[in-house]
Chain A
Amino acid sequence: MGLTRRSFLKIVAAGTAAAAAPLAGSRFLGRFRVRPGSHLPALVASRETPGTVVQLSGLPDSGGDIAVAYAAEPNTRTGPGEAGRRWVMVIDLARCDGCRECTRACTAMHFVPPGQEWIRVYEMRDHEAAAPYWFPRPCMQCDNAPCVKVCPVSAAWKREDGIVMQDTSRCIGCRFCIAACPYGARSFNWVEPPHTPEELAKPDDIEWNFRHRKGTTEKCIFCPGLVKQGKLPACADACPMGAIYFGDQVEDAVTNSQGETIRFSELVKENAGYRSLEELGTEPRVYYLPPRKRLYPAPPSEPEPATAGGHR
């Protein structure tokens, strides 16, 4: 074809203005150093097709090859992310029963070092008259991310697909981002993280968020490695209640572990979805549906001693 990646993109964009989705996948394929002349599939995704993210997003099936592709060269920077995508998460607090399967799945998938929880389930109670509820908190992938603003070396940066990435190969460990994050979503490797054989067997890949490195900051990054494979992030996939929806805001569709795919805008509109600490202006990419008419036993009324003082 003799096209560069960029000109290819332009052509695709011009030719398929009616559907924004076709851009999907082409940008990120650039990650694999697709040279001019390589074949790039033009992918058209239907917004109407219900189903999993992979069907909606029209991601190419790269299967297990991704790991192989990364193995050749440790991936430290991922570029702008997937073009035309705006990853978004919706957490239905009415469905969350506090089982913490999300945390466990995340920890297992990313070999999260001890002491860290990249998606932490809080016990919340907004005021005395309200019942307590569970509040899973991943990284909010803020559009106006305080952590990205303060990072002195751009070890934290915002991708075009909405993900706030974190590069542990560049991070100098000043922990300014941890100070800046109002959600407490960032963790620090205070000591050399234990490296299990399973982790060491995997390639060193920023999009899978391992290898972990001493003296650097890490956090949830919406599992771009899995998403690329057309799978849900580990937490959303593991939720037995189907409380965590994940999808693309551009496509306006989110999917949960039960295979339910719903229009994002309608889901949030009809359920009075909100974002955590909206008043701070961080523009999070994680939406919450209020813990109304819960389907599970609430957490104990008296939260842990260390919970005093905060609010949602």
Chain B
Amino acid sequence: MPRRLDPFSPRERVLLASLTEAGPGFYALVGLLLAVIAWGIIAYIVQLRYGLGVTGLRDNFMWGVYITNFVFFIGVSHVGALMSAILRITGAEWRRSVTRMAEAITFASLLMGALMPFVDMGRPDRILNLLLHGRLQSPLLWDIMAITTYLTGSTLFLFVPMIPDIALLRDRFAAGPAWRRRLYTILSLGWRGTEAQRRHLERIMGIMAIIIIPIAISVHTVVSWIFGMTLRAGWNSTVFGPYFVSGALFSGAAAVVTAMAAFRWAYRLQDYITEEHFRKMGYLVITLGMIYAYFTFAEYITPAYKMATSERGYLTAVFSGQFAPLFWFTQIGGVLLPLLLLTVPRISWVPRLARIPLLRPAPALATIVTSAVVLLLPAVLPRTAALGGFEVLRQLPFWIIAALGGWLFLTLLPVFRQRPIAAAVVASVLVNIAAWLKRFVIIVPTLQYPFLPIQRAPFGWAFYRPTWVEWSITAGAVAGFVLIYLLFSKVFPIVSIWETREEGHRSEAAPLSAGEHGGVADAPAP
């Protein structure tokens, strides 16, 4: 473990570099994010001015992309509780360098997730009615209570373990800009690293770790219940609570993998975030993915076996109808392939794939890209009426794309075996794209097949097609998430300095001796 051999000061120098250095790349990224956010705000102003009619939402599709975003962001936010609480309680020492990343993800995505219902509201000007006239039997109120509790709890959980590091910053930035000095002085809460303070800190963290788990579970359970508490076929499911929680943890863990790779690369944290971390996170993602796959199977097989009249519509649409490409992508591209990618370093037959001529990277990639381009050409041309009657022909492009995707995957598998971190990143990005799409596939097909059929809908009201306003606001929310995360990493160390110093000791609960664990603020200045 190289970091244990590191002397103090260079270690801090690496971990604090991100706070002081900001290259052109950083400013370019911030500029881009701000531009996207501004565009999202413009879209929202348009929506405020003209009403939700500027979205693709209509009476039959009363919820769509915004609620998808809501469920997605709240889901991603679950990783904080998972990483900080569950791994802390189970004593997984390797978590120390990634906990704060996970907690910050929780913070940023909760903010964006909590924003979404308000974006979705028809009358945001009446937001106070929720306080003035709030009714406790509405699952929406449960959401508000659970999310605010979780936001408070996870902010504390992010902040409290950061206090020693903030104290360190307070001392290090004594000559820095005034705003930093002031910020760190206030936030360090007078931390001196005394024995009593450390005891209090450990105690608070121990209590928080236990409290935050049921809160986190409650959050996504009640989020699922805005669907589960309705009578609609496809939402009326008893398994929705645990199903959503499992999906949330899966997508959140994958988001941490992406963040780990991004910070490792951008802030040169190779010594702190090692391949070992990716391997361990990979195991976590695999485990959560299998739990999620199990719940998905249970959720769909029970109605699909029976094919009740009310369930038949959306099930057929999801398995073989208009939503089938999305659904099967979420299952194959979002669960199966990522799990395979994460296990690829351990699969012995993978290197042999490279010996198959069809799978030699260069010719295979050339063929795949060419055929994809050829295939997409007719897709952009107006659809000919001749194809109208032939279901198989109309589905053909999907099958070809699926086959090309499979081919591409097999071609790249040996390459990924050589580069496990790249494999983990691709896997986690796939998981998160699929997580978003899966939430869409949970919401929209059910609305397409209500109890009373959709009839006499005005033109364009019988299907849901999100508009540029919805996509712009969604892009703005994603950019907002990244920006909050990025700025957080510029103000606070994204890898816990004092906790990673403790790594390697048998247990964090072991009695502290001044020699081993001198208060961080006491460390010699570089």
List the interface of chain A (C-beta within 8 A of B): 114-117, 120-123, 135, 137, 146, 149-155, 170-176, 178-180, 182-184, 186-192, 214-217, 276-277, 280, 282, 303-304, 306-312
What 1/0 flags go to B99-112 for Cβ under 8 Å of A? 00000000000000
User: Which residue on chain A has the smallest CB distance to residue B461?
Assistant: A115
In contact, A280 and B231 (Cβ under 8 angstroms):
yes
- Bound-complex Cα distance A189 to B120 (A): 14
What 1/0 flags go to B452-484 for Cβ under 8 Å of A? 111111100110000000000000000000000
Q: Does B123 contact A (CB under 8 A)?
A: yes
In contact, B313 and A310 (Cβ under 8 angstroms):
yes
A-B contact pairs, 8 of them (CB 8 A): A174-B117, A175-B62, A182-B451, A183-B451, A191-B53, A282-B231, A307-B453, A309-B313
Q: Would you list the 7 A-B pairs with minimal beta carbon distance, nearest first? A: A173-B122, A309-B313, A215-B122, A310-B453, A191-B53, A190-B53, A152-B138
Q: When the two chains form the complex, which single residue of B117, B127, B138, B229 contacts A151, counting CB atoms closer than 8 Å?
A: B138
In contact, A309 and B449 (Cβ under 8 angstroms):
yes
In contact, A191 and B126 (Cβ under 8 angstroms):
no
In contact, B230 and A146 (Cβ under 8 angstroms):
yes
> Which chain A residues lie closer than 8 Å to B132 at the CB level?
153
User: With A184-B59, A215-B123 as given contacts, are A146 and B231 in contact (CB-CB < 8 Å)?
Assistant: yes
> Which chain A residues lie closer than 8 Å to B458 at the CB level?
114-115
Q: Does B137 contact A (CB under 8 A)?
A: yes
Q: When the two chains form the complex, which single residue of A146, A151, A172, A306 contacts B455, counting CB atoms closer than 8 Å?
A: A306
In contact, B63 and A186 (Cβ under 8 angstroms):
no
User: With A146-B231, A183-B452, A188-B59 as given contacts, are A216 and B122 in contact (CB-CB < 8 Å)?
Assistant: yes
In contact, A150 and B62 (Cβ under 8 angstroms):
no
How many cross-chain pairs have Cβ atoms below 8 Å apart between A and B?
172
> Which chain A residues lie closer than 8 Å to B447 at the CB level?
179
- Bound-complex Cα distance A275 to B127 (A): 37
Q: When the two chains form the complex, which single residue of B133, B317, B455 contacts A304, counting CB atoms closer than 8 Å?
A: B455
Q: Does B141 contact A (CB under 8 A)?
A: yes
In contact, A188 and B122 (Cβ under 8 angstroms):
yes
> Which chain A residues lie closer than 8 Å to B50 at the CB level?
191-192
Q: Does B361 contact A (CB under 8 A)?
A: no
Q: When the two chains form the complex, which single residue of A150, A173, A309 contacts B230, counting CB atoms closer than 8 Å?
A: A150
> Which chain B residues lie closer than 8 Å to A191 at the CB level?
50-53
B456 CB → nearest A CB, Å: 6
Contacts beyond the supplied A150-B138, A178-B59, A215-B121: 6 A-B pairs with Cβ under 8 Å: A116-B59, A173-B52, A179-B232, A180-B231, A184-B452, A309-B312
In contact, A306 and B453 (Cβ under 8 angstroms):
yes
- Bound-complex Cα distance A139 to B346 (A): 60
Q: Does B310 contact A (CB under 8 A)?
A: yes
> Which chain A residues lie closer than 8 Å to B53 at the CB level?
190-191
Q: Does B226 contact A (CB under 8 A)?
A: yes
In contact, B134 and A214 (Cβ under 8 angstroms):
no
B465 CB → nearest A CB, Å: 14
In contact, B126 and A170 (Cβ under 8 angstroms):
yes
B453 CB → nearest A CB, Å: 3
> Which chain B residues lie closer than 8 Å to A121 at the CB level?
456
Q: Of B59, B139, B227, B455, which is in contact with the most chain A CB atoms at under 10 Å from its CB?
A: B455
> Which chain B residues lie closer than 8 Å to A192 at the CB level?
50-51
> Which chain B residues lie closer than 8 Å to A153 at the CB level?
126, 129-130, 132-135
In contact, A154 and B135 (Cβ under 8 angstroms):
yes
- Bound-complex Cα distance A175 to B57 (A): 11
> Which chain B residues lie closer than 8 Å to A282 at the CB level?
231
Q: When the two chains form the complex, which single residue of B60, B309, B462 contacts A311, counting CB atoms closer than 8 Å?
A: B309
User: With A184-B450, A277-B451, A310-B449 as given contacts, are A173 and B121 in contact (CB-CB < 8 Å)?
Assistant: yes
User: With A150-B140, A215-B51, A277-B451 as given contacts, are A174 and B121 in contact (CB-CB < 8 Å)?
Assistant: yes
In contact, A152 and B141 (Cβ under 8 angstroms):
yes
Q: When the two chains form the complex, which single residue of A122, A175, A303, A306 contacts B122, counting CB atoms closer than 8 Å?
A: A175
In contact, A154 and B232 (Cβ under 8 angstroms):
no
In contact, B63 and A179 (Cβ under 8 angstroms):
yes
In contact, B450 and A187 (Cβ under 8 angstroms):
no
Q: When the two chains form the complex, which single residue of B51, B129, B448 contacts A172, counting CB atoms closer than 8 Å?
A: B129
- Bound-complex Cα distance A309 to B129 (A): 37
- Bound-complex Cα distance A188 to B122 (A): 9
